[in-house]
A = this chain, B = another copy of it.
Protein backbone atom coordinates (compact mmCIF):
# COMPACT_ATOMS: atom_id res chain seq x y z
CA UNK A 1 0.00 0.00 0.00
CA UNK A 2 1.44 3.29 -1.15
CA UNK A 3 -0.89 5.34 1.05
CA UNK A 4 0.93 8.05 2.95
CA UNK A 5 4.28 7.52 1.23
CA UNK A 6 3.86 10.88 -0.50
CA UNK A 7 3.29 13.69 1.97
CA UNK A 8 2.80 16.86 -0.02
CA UNK A 9 3.33 18.96 -3.10
CA UNK A 10 6.79 20.48 -2.64
CA UNK A 11 7.35 22.84 -5.57
CA UNK A 12 6.63 23.46 -9.23
CA UNK A 13 8.96 24.68 -11.95
CA UNK A 14 7.33 26.77 -14.68
CA UNK A 15 8.80 27.83 -17.99
CA UNK A 16 8.25 31.41 -19.04
CA UNK A 17 9.20 33.23 -22.23
CA UNK A 18 8.96 36.49 -20.24
CA UNK A 19 10.63 35.55 -16.95
CA UNK A 20 11.07 39.09 -15.62
CA UNK A 21 7.42 39.91 -16.13
CA UNK A 22 6.39 36.55 -14.72
CA UNK A 23 8.44 37.09 -11.57
CA UNK A 24 7.10 40.64 -11.25
CA UNK A 25 3.55 39.26 -11.48
CA UNK A 26 4.17 36.83 -8.66
CA UNK A 27 6.05 39.30 -6.44
CA UNK A 28 4.31 42.65 -7.01
CA UNK A 29 0.74 41.41 -7.26
CA UNK A 30 0.67 38.07 -5.43
CA UNK A 31 3.25 39.03 -2.82
CA UNK A 32 5.59 36.07 -3.36
CA UNK A 33 9.20 36.41 -2.21
CA UNK A 34 12.31 35.74 -4.23
CA UNK A 35 14.60 33.43 -2.26
CA UNK A 36 17.40 33.05 -4.72
CA UNK A 37 18.39 33.33 -8.39
CA UNK A 38 20.63 31.01 -10.37
CA UNK A 39 21.29 30.85 -14.10
CA UNK A 40 18.04 31.38 -15.96
CA UNK A 41 15.95 30.55 -12.91
CA UNK A 42 14.36 32.50 -10.07
CA UNK A 43 13.20 30.69 -6.91
CA UNK A 44 10.12 31.98 -5.10
CA UNK A 45 7.84 31.13 -2.23
CA UNK A 46 4.70 32.45 -0.56
CA UNK A 47 5.09 33.85 2.93
CA UNK A 48 3.69 30.79 4.70
CA UNK A 49 5.61 28.29 2.59
CA UNK A 50 8.16 26.64 4.86
CA UNK A 51 10.75 25.44 2.39
CA UNK A 52 13.34 27.27 0.27
CA UNK A 53 10.93 27.65 -2.61
CA UNK A 54 7.62 26.41 -3.96
CA UNK A 55 7.96 28.00 -7.38
CA UNK A 56 10.87 28.08 -9.80
CA UNK A 57 10.55 30.29 -12.86
CA UNK A 58 12.91 29.32 -15.67
CA UNK A 59 13.35 31.20 -18.90
CA UNK A 60 12.30 29.20 -21.95
CA UNK A 61 10.92 29.70 -25.41
CA UNK A 62 7.48 28.49 -24.44
CA UNK A 63 5.36 28.55 -21.33
CA UNK A 64 4.72 25.24 -19.63
CA UNK A 65 5.41 23.17 -16.55
CA UNK A 66 9.03 22.03 -16.33
CA UNK A 67 8.53 19.70 -13.40
CA UNK A 68 6.40 19.10 -10.33
CA UNK A 69 8.07 17.93 -7.12
CA UNK A 70 6.54 15.88 -4.34
CA UNK A 71 7.95 15.36 -0.88
CA UNK A 72 7.84 11.83 0.52
CA UNK A 73 6.67 11.07 4.06
CA UNK A 74 10.08 9.79 5.09
CA UNK A 75 13.37 8.60 3.67
CA UNK A 76 12.01 5.04 3.75
CA UNK A 77 8.83 6.03 2.00
CA UNK A 78 10.89 7.66 -0.70
CA UNK A 79 12.86 4.46 -1.23
CA UNK A 80 9.67 2.41 -1.45
CA UNK A 81 8.27 4.75 -4.11
CA UNK A 82 11.49 4.72 -6.12
CA UNK A 83 11.53 0.93 -6.23
CA UNK A 84 7.96 0.89 -7.39
CA UNK A 85 8.50 3.60 -10.01
CA UNK A 86 11.53 1.84 -11.41
CA UNK A 87 9.51 -1.29 -11.87
CA UNK A 88 6.68 0.64 -13.47
CA UNK A 89 8.81 1.83 -16.34
CA UNK A 90 7.94 5.48 -15.64
CA UNK A 91 11.05 6.12 -13.54
CA UNK A 92 13.88 8.15 -15.01
CA UNK A 93 16.53 8.16 -12.30
CA UNK A 94 18.07 10.34 -9.63
CA UNK A 95 19.24 13.91 -10.13
CA UNK A 96 21.69 15.74 -7.87
CA UNK A 97 19.10 18.02 -6.37
CA UNK A 98 18.73 21.74 -6.77
CA UNK A 99 18.87 24.89 -4.68
CA UNK A 100 16.68 24.13 -1.69
CA UNK A 101 16.63 20.36 -1.78
CA UNK A 102 18.79 17.26 -2.07
CA UNK A 103 18.75 14.49 -4.66
CA UNK A 104 15.37 13.77 -6.22
CA UNK A 105 14.09 10.82 -8.15
CA UNK A 106 12.70 11.83 -11.55
CA UNK A 107 9.81 10.16 -13.30
CA UNK A 108 7.06 10.91 -15.78
CA UNK A 109 3.33 10.48 -15.80
CA UNK A 110 1.94 8.28 -18.58
CA UNK A 111 1.16 11.53 -20.42
CA UNK A 112 4.77 12.65 -20.09
CA UNK A 113 4.55 15.33 -17.39
CA UNK A 114 7.88 15.57 -15.56
CA UNK A 115 7.81 14.92 -11.83
CA UNK A 116 10.26 14.23 -9.07
CA UNK A 117 10.09 12.83 -5.56
CA UNK A 118 12.43 13.94 -2.78
CA UNK A 119 13.01 13.87 0.94
CA UNK A 120 15.80 16.29 1.87
CA UNK A 121 14.60 19.87 1.95
CA UNK A 122 16.10 23.13 3.06
CA UNK A 123 13.88 25.18 5.31
CA UNK A 124 13.54 28.87 4.57
CA UNK A 125 15.33 31.08 7.08
CA UNK A 126 14.05 34.64 7.17
CA UNK A 127 16.58 37.46 7.30
CA UNK A 128 16.65 39.39 10.56
CA UNK A 129 14.20 42.11 9.49
CA UNK A 130 11.72 39.53 8.22
CA UNK A 131 11.60 37.41 11.37
CA UNK A 132 8.16 37.25 12.94
CA UNK A 133 6.82 36.58 16.43
CA UNK A 134 4.12 34.38 14.91
CA UNK A 135 6.02 31.15 15.34
CA UNK A 136 4.16 29.05 12.81
CA UNK A 137 5.02 31.55 10.10
CA UNK A 138 8.42 31.35 8.47
CA UNK A 139 8.51 35.13 7.88
CA UNK A 140 6.54 38.33 8.34
CA UNK A 141 3.43 38.85 6.27
CA UNK A 142 4.56 40.98 3.31
CA UNK A 143 3.13 44.43 2.68
CA UNK A 144 3.30 44.10 -1.10
CA UNK A 145 0.43 43.14 -3.36
CA UNK A 146 -2.20 40.80 -2.01
CA UNK A 147 0.06 38.12 -0.56
CA UNK A 148 -0.75 34.46 -1.23
CA UNK A 149 -0.18 32.21 1.77
CA UNK A 150 1.04 28.90 0.32
CA UNK A 151 1.25 26.64 -2.71
CA UNK A 152 -1.91 24.57 -3.00
CA UNK A 153 -2.07 22.24 -6.00
CA UNK A 154 -1.36 21.59 -9.67
CA UNK A 155 -3.75 20.68 -12.44
CA UNK A 156 -2.50 18.75 -15.45
CA UNK A 157 -4.19 18.37 -18.82
CA UNK A 158 -3.99 14.83 -20.09
CA UNK A 159 -4.87 12.78 -23.11
CA UNK A 160 -6.20 10.03 -20.84
CA UNK A 161 -7.62 10.98 -17.47
CA UNK A 162 -8.17 7.46 -16.21
CA UNK A 163 -4.68 6.25 -17.05
CA UNK A 164 -2.95 9.22 -15.44
CA UNK A 165 -5.27 9.10 -12.45
CA UNK A 166 -4.49 5.44 -11.89
CA UNK A 167 -0.79 6.16 -12.11
CA UNK A 168 -1.05 8.69 -9.29
CA UNK A 169 -3.08 6.23 -7.22
CA UNK A 170 -1.08 3.10 -7.88
CA UNK A 171 2.44 4.49 -7.93
CA UNK A 172 2.21 7.38 -5.49
CA UNK A 173 -0.63 6.47 -3.15
CA UNK A 174 -2.99 9.28 -4.00
CA UNK A 175 -6.65 8.81 -3.23
CA UNK A 176 -9.42 9.69 -5.64
CA UNK A 177 -11.61 12.35 -4.03
CA UNK A 178 -13.89 13.55 -6.83
CA UNK A 179 -14.24 12.83 -10.52
CA UNK A 180 -16.39 13.72 -13.50
CA UNK A 181 -17.62 10.73 -15.47
CA UNK A 182 -19.40 11.06 -18.80
CA UNK A 183 -22.36 8.93 -19.79
CA UNK A 184 -20.07 6.83 -21.99
CA UNK A 185 -17.92 6.03 -18.98
CA UNK A 186 -14.99 8.27 -19.88
CA UNK A 187 -13.54 10.38 -17.10
CA UNK A 188 -13.38 14.10 -17.84
CA UNK A 189 -11.43 15.02 -14.73
CA UNK A 190 -10.18 13.58 -11.45
CA UNK A 191 -9.14 15.25 -8.20
CA UNK A 192 -6.66 13.39 -6.01
CA UNK A 193 -4.94 13.94 -2.68
CA UNK A 194 -2.70 12.44 -0.05
CA UNK A 195 -4.24 14.57 2.72
CA UNK A 196 -7.66 15.88 3.79
CA UNK A 197 -7.36 18.48 1.04
CA UNK A 198 -9.58 17.50 -1.87
CA UNK A 199 -6.61 17.71 -4.20
CA UNK A 200 -2.94 18.34 -4.39
CA UNK A 201 -3.28 17.33 -8.03
CA UNK A 202 -6.05 17.23 -10.59
CA UNK A 203 -5.94 15.66 -14.02
CA UNK A 204 -8.29 16.98 -16.69
CA UNK A 205 -9.06 15.86 -20.23
CA UNK A 206 -7.22 18.08 -22.73
CA UNK A 207 -10.13 19.27 -24.88
CA UNK A 208 -7.62 20.63 -27.34
CA UNK A 209 -6.55 17.11 -28.18
CA UNK A 210 -2.97 17.22 -26.92
CA UNK A 211 -0.77 15.27 -24.55
CA UNK A 212 1.28 16.24 -21.53
CA UNK A 213 0.23 19.86 -21.17
CA UNK A 214 -0.13 21.95 -18.05
CA UNK A 215 -3.40 23.45 -16.93
CA UNK A 216 -2.63 25.52 -13.84
CA UNK A 217 -0.77 26.00 -10.60
CA UNK A 218 -2.81 27.15 -7.58
CA UNK A 219 -1.74 29.31 -4.68
CA UNK A 220 -3.86 29.48 -1.59
CA UNK A 221 -5.33 32.60 0.01
CA UNK A 222 -8.02 31.20 2.26
CA UNK A 223 -10.01 34.45 2.44
CA UNK A 224 -12.59 35.31 -0.24
CA UNK A 225 -11.97 39.05 0.16
CA UNK A 226 -8.39 38.57 -0.96
CA UNK A 227 -9.52 37.27 -4.33
CA UNK A 228 -11.59 40.40 -4.80
CA UNK A 229 -8.66 42.55 -3.75
CA UNK A 230 -6.38 40.76 -6.16
CA UNK A 231 -8.96 40.91 -8.97
CA UNK A 232 -9.01 44.66 -8.42
CA UNK A 233 -5.22 44.82 -8.70
CA UNK A 234 -5.34 42.64 -11.81
CA UNK A 235 -7.94 44.93 -13.41
CA UNK A 236 -5.75 47.93 -12.61
CA UNK A 237 -2.65 46.31 -14.06
CA UNK A 238 -3.90 44.77 -17.26
CA UNK A 239 -3.74 41.17 -16.09
CA UNK A 240 -6.30 39.01 -17.86
CA UNK A 241 -8.72 37.23 -15.54
CA UNK A 242 -10.07 34.16 -17.26
CA UNK A 243 -12.82 33.41 -14.76
CA UNK A 244 -13.98 34.17 -11.23
CA UNK A 245 -13.93 34.93 -8.42
CA UNK A 246 -16.62 32.26 -8.29
CA UNK A 247 -17.26 28.88 -6.71
CA UNK A 248 -16.75 25.42 -8.19
CA UNK A 249 -19.01 22.56 -7.20
CA UNK A 250 -16.01 20.26 -7.56
CA UNK A 251 -13.87 20.69 -4.45
CA UNK A 252 -16.06 23.60 -3.30
CA UNK A 253 -13.18 25.90 -4.22
CA UNK A 254 -13.75 29.63 -4.34
CA UNK A 255 -11.55 30.27 -7.37
CA UNK A 256 -10.10 32.83 -9.75
CA UNK A 257 -8.12 31.92 -12.88
CA UNK A 258 -5.68 34.31 -14.45
CA UNK A 259 -2.81 34.23 -16.95
CA UNK A 260 0.61 35.25 -15.71
CA UNK A 261 2.48 37.31 -18.34
CA UNK A 262 4.43 34.26 -19.50
CA UNK A 263 1.20 32.54 -20.49
CA UNK A 264 0.72 29.96 -17.75
CA UNK A 265 -2.65 29.79 -16.07
CA UNK A 266 -2.61 30.49 -12.32
CA UNK A 267 -5.43 29.76 -9.90
CA UNK A 268 -5.99 31.72 -6.73
CA UNK A 269 -7.79 29.65 -4.13
CA UNK A 270 -9.89 31.91 -1.96
CA UNK A 271 -11.35 29.81 0.82
CA UNK A 272 -10.81 26.42 2.36
CA UNK A 273 -12.99 24.33 0.17
CA UNK A 274 -13.84 21.40 2.42
CA UNK A 275 -11.66 18.79 4.10
CA UNK A 276 -11.98 15.03 3.78
CA UNK A 277 -11.34 13.39 7.12
CA UNK A 278 -13.46 10.30 6.56
CA UNK A 279 -11.01 7.38 6.17
CA UNK A 280 -13.62 5.51 4.17
CA UNK A 281 -14.41 8.33 1.72
CA UNK A 282 -16.35 7.33 -1.39
CA UNK A 283 -15.23 9.52 -4.30
CA UNK A 284 -17.76 12.11 -5.34
CA UNK A 285 -18.96 11.25 -8.82
CA UNK A 286 -20.22 14.08 -11.02
CA UNK A 287 -22.09 13.00 -14.13
CA UNK A 288 -23.17 14.76 -17.30
CA UNK A 289 -26.45 15.80 -15.78
CA UNK A 290 -24.63 17.49 -12.90
CA UNK A 291 -21.79 18.94 -14.95
CA UNK A 292 -23.05 22.50 -14.66
CA UNK A 293 -23.01 22.37 -10.85
CA UNK A 294 -19.64 20.60 -10.87
CA UNK A 295 -18.05 23.36 -12.92
CA UNK A 296 -19.69 26.38 -11.29
CA UNK A 297 -21.78 26.22 -8.16
CA UNK A 298 -22.29 29.98 -8.20
CA UNK A 299 -20.80 33.15 -9.49
CA UNK A 300 -19.75 32.89 -13.12
CA UNK A 301 -18.81 30.68 -16.00
CA UNK A 302 -15.76 28.94 -17.31
CA UNK A 303 -15.11 30.00 -20.92
CA UNK A 304 -14.33 27.44 -23.61
CA UNK A 305 -10.63 28.23 -23.46
CA UNK A 306 -10.57 26.94 -19.90
CA UNK A 307 -11.00 23.48 -21.41
CA UNK A 308 -8.76 23.91 -24.46
CA UNK A 309 -5.92 26.21 -23.46
CA UNK A 310 -2.89 24.68 -21.76
CA UNK A 311 0.83 25.32 -21.80
CA UNK A 312 2.68 24.94 -23.99
CA UNK A 313 0.00 26.63 -26.09
CA UNK A 314 -0.95 24.72 -29.23
CA UNK A 315 -3.51 25.01 -31.96
CA UNK A 316 -6.55 23.31 -30.44
CA UNK A 317 -9.51 21.63 -32.01
CA UNK A 318 -12.29 20.94 -29.55
CA UNK A 319 -12.71 17.22 -29.24
CA UNK A 320 -15.45 16.99 -26.67
CA UNK A 321 -18.46 19.20 -26.11
CA UNK A 322 -18.67 20.73 -22.65
CA UNK A 323 -21.88 21.94 -21.07
Contacts and interface: CB of A to CB of B under 8 A. Distances in A.
Contacts of A146: 143
Nearest to A140: B236
A141 B28 CA distance: 13
Contacts of A279: 7-8, 71-74
A29 interface: yes
- Total copies of the chain: 4
A150 to B, nearest CB: 8
Contacts of A244: 299
A174 interface: no
A187 to B, nearest CB: 15
Given A71-B279, A143-B29, A285-B135, A226 B228 contact: no
Contacts of A252: 134, 136-137
Interface stretch (A36-44, A59-67, A159-167, A269-277): A269-277
A278 interface: yes
B144 A222 contact: no
Contacts of A140: 236-237
Contacts of A198: 136
Interface string A237-249: 1000100111101
A246 to B, nearest CB: 7
B7 A277 contact: yes
Contacts of A225: 223-226
Contacts of A233: 141, 143
Contacts of A88: none
A284 B133 CA distance: 12
Interface in A13-29: 28-29
A271 B254 CA distance: 14
A90 interface: no
Contacts of A86: none
Interface stretch (A103-111, A259-267, A290-298, A305-313): A290-298
Contact of A195 (B7, B196, B294): B196
A274 B145 CA distance: 20
A288 interface: no
Contact of A271 (B72, B150, B222, B246): B222
Interface in A129-159: 132-137, 140-141, 143-146, 149-150
A178 interface: yes
Identify the interface centre among A196, A223, A236, A294: most chain B CB within 10 Å of its CB: A236
A170 interface: no
17 contacts: A7-B277, A8-B279, A28-B143, A71-B279, A134-B236, A134-B252, A135-B284, A136-B249, A143-B144, A144-B144, A231-B298, A231-B299, A234-B298, A245-B245, A245-B298, A245-B299, A271-B272
Interface of A: 4, 7-8, 28-29, 48, 50, 71-74, 132-137, 140-141, 143-146, 149-150, 178, 195-198, 222-226, 228-229, 231-237, 241, 244-247, 249, 251-252, 254, 271-272, 274-275, 277-279, 284-286, 290, 293-294, 297-301
